Amino acid sequence: MAGSINMFLVEGSSAALALGDQTMTDTAASTAAWPGGAIGFAAAVAVAQDTAPGTPETSAATDVIATGGYMTSSHGSHWSVDVPYGPTPTSVDVSLTFVSTHGGGYAFSGYDLVGSSLHGLL
Amino acid sequence: MNTEANAEASARTCHPGLETFDLHDGNDDLGPLGGLEYDDRAPAATMPAPVAYSGMELFDHDLVWGESGAWHQDDQSPNGLLAVIGGSAMAAGEASAVTGLVENFAEDRGDYSIAMGKAIFEASAYTCEPGGALAAAGTFLDVSGADFIFEHEIGQSKHGPYDAWARSELDYLSIDIHGWSPPQGAIVIKVDQSVGHYQPYGLELPQGNLAQVLAMSEAHGADTLSATFTNALTIENHFSFVNAVGIVAL
């Protein structure tokens, strides 16, 4: 007996770390799933600055997983800038990831899934 | 800094059965901070040929060996070393698989700066109907602000009535000597070993549709920039695509 399962799953996470005299971190991870598709987005930003000669450190990482569609795509970018010398050594790290999957889902069978997996910031 | 993007969709078209799908995409940066980044089977028949190509250079500040056999020079940035390396791969067929890997590294060593890296992209496709498989892979490199550039590129491709395969690999090493420049501009040594048709030993046919790419970029020095960009796309029973770019600047 043959059978099939149509289910969309998406999850994301992000993390940011900053070490210095002045630091700022911001993370966001959003997911949404509906009958026929799912998307996930995660972002992380870390900035650190020393007011005296030093070595500020930053790290930003994101991760998103999405499954279930006929077509899946992912886009990732990661930037890092470090200026460790000068009066205000600065380090910046930015990470972005976007994933989408859609097609192939059964609108009604996936209805219950929508309510449980559509959520905002993690 | 490293960026990883994976997209995988598995399905069987020739054989009805359970369909499964899987995709993963992620970015990880576990590197130390403050320093930088990271990041056949069948006889031949008429069909689309796979392509292995060299990508367009985004910036052309290199000294290159012209067709006439003479060196010619373009602009060269006086403000440090910039290296951009990347590539792309695509495969079309009922089963397709593409993979990409980019590594880029740069370091300021006081009297000189060095940048090196590689890009490897591979694509393979299989189809039940003759002529339906297509595979292409390509890589590119652009270096600005270097005194010496050594580049080695290998392109390979193969196609049959039911399958296609392509691979492109590029390795480079560049050196910028601080306070000195070659009188006639940067010296570039480029070796291109493209092969029209090549069947890799042990090549396995893809199953499902897979796209997987990983990019890592790392720069060490006083003022550095490193960045990676990745994309992955799969369409079940039809298509796989990846591209990636790694950038380092000192």
Query: Could you give the CA distance from residue A55 to residue A48 in angstroms, rounded to a whole number?
Result: 9
> Which of A82, A90, A100 to mutate to probe the B interface, most B CBs <10 Å?
A82
Task: Specify the residue for token string 């990470």.
Answer: A95
* Residue A55, domain extent: 9-114
Q: Could you tell me which of B82, B80, B79 has the C-alpha nearest to residue B60?
A: B82
Pick from A17, A71, A85: CB nearest B236: A71
Residue B24: the pLDDT is: 34
B16: chain A residues, CB-CB within 8 Å = 2
Helix, strand, or coil here: B77? coil
User: Residues B147-187: pLDDT tens digits?
Assistant: 999 999 999 888 888 899 999 999 999 999 998 888 888 89
* Residue B205, domain extent: 51-214
User: Residues A88-116: pLDDT tens digits?
Assistant: 899 999 999 999 998 865 444 443 333 33
Take residue B146 and report the two structure tokens written for it.
């270097």
User: Residues A67-79: pLDDT tens digits?
Assistant: 888 889 999 999 9
Share of chain A above pLDDT 70, in %: 80
CB-based contact B84:B225 (threshold 8 Å): no
> Which of the four pLDDT bands, split at 50, 70 and 90, describes residue A22?
very high
Distances (CA, A) of B93 to A47, A100, B18, B135: 45, 21, 19, 9
B174 part of a folded domain: yes
- Which one-letter DSSP state was computed for residue A112? H
Instruction: Count chain A–chain B contacts defined by CB atoms under 8 A.
Output: 175
A2 part of a folded domain: no
Q: Could you give the number of structural domains in chain A?
A: 1
B122 part of a folded domain: yes
- Residue A117: phi and psi, rounded to 5, are -110, -5
Contact B227/A78, CB-based, under 8 Å?
yes
Contact B236/A85, CB-based, under 8 Å?
no
Q: Could you tell me which of A9, A5, A7, A27 has the C-alpha nearest to residue A100?
A: A9
Q: Could you give the number of structural domains in chain B?
A: 1
Contact A62/B26, CB-based, under 8 Å?
yes
A121 part of a folded domain: no
Q: Greater confidence, B7 or B239?
A: B239
B205 part of a folded domain: yes
Contact A58/B34, CB-based, under 8 Å?
yes
